[in-house]
């Protein structure tokens, strides 16, 4: 069920909606455990694309050197964004997961086999998008996901 966040909060609290999907950072900031969300499944399915866009006329007004500076700054900002988003979630730092567990939340992490079931079930989505946006874009997305 799709709904605005303003409607989702009371729906979660009253049990009209059983669950929601959000990164654990959002779960923590919004204190989702206080809204009755006491079960979390980590399945590491998401690879958030970070899109940096510049108006074509503005971009073309830059020198090649300035374009490269902006391009490199975007790459560095993206890498930093990924690092910040994963803080407390990865194998070497589970502080965010541990904090959420401390609220009495049951956190389940899918096994590789369980996660693969989702990968297999969503394979047709890649094929559908391949026809819409082209094989090159789908290949880039798959490579990006594989390298996350």
Whether residue 66 sits in one domain with residue 54: yes
Q: Closest Cα partner for 33 from 43, 45, 24, 44?
A: 24
DSSP string covering 37-63: --EEEE-------------HHHHHHS-
Residues 104 and 119 in one domain: no
Instruction: For the chain, give the mean pLDDT.
Output: 89
Asked whether residue 37 falls in the same domain as residue 64, the answer is yes
Q: 87 and 18, same structural domain?
A: yes
Does residue 97 share a domain with residue 66? yes
Residues 13 and 73 in one domain: yes
Domain range for 135? 111-148
State whether 26 and 75 are in the same domain.
Answer: yes
Over the stretch 28-58, which tens digit does the pLDDT of each residue have?
Answer: 999 999 999 999 998 877 666 788 999 999 9
- 68 and 37 housed in the same domain: yes
Do the beta carbons of residue 33 and residue 100 sit within 8 Å? yes
Mean pLDDT of 99-122: 92
Q: Are residues 147 and 79 in the same domain?
A: no
Q: Do 74 and 122 share a domain, yes or no?
A: no
* pLDDT confidence of residue 51: 86
Compute the CA torsion angle 98, 100, 104, 110 (nearest 10 deg).
-80
* Count of other CB atoms within 10 angstroms of residue 145: 14
Q: Which residue do the tokens 């510049």 mark? A: 54
**Same domain for 141 and 82?**
no
Q: What is the pLDDT of residue 99?
A: 94
Number of domains in the chain: 2
């Amino acid at each position: 069920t799709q709904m605005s966040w303003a409607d989702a909060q009371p729906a979660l609290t009253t049990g009209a909606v059983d669950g929601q999907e959000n990164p654990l950072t959002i779960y923590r900031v919004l204190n989702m455990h206080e809204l009755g969300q006491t079960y979390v499944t980590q399945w590491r399915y998401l690879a958030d694309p970070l899109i940096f866009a510049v108006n074509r006329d503005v971009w073309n007004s830059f020198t090649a050197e300035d374009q490269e500076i902006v391009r490199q700054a975007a790459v560095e900002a993206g890498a930093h964004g990924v690092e910040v988003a994963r803080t407390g979630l990865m194998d070497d730092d589970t502080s965010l997961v541990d904090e959420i567990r401390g609220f009495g939340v049951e956190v389940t992490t899918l096994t590789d086999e369980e996660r693969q079931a989702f990968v297999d079930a969503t394979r047709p989505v890649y094929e559908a998008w391949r026809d819409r946006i082209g094989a090159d874009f789908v290949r880039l997305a798959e490579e990006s996901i594989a390298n996350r």
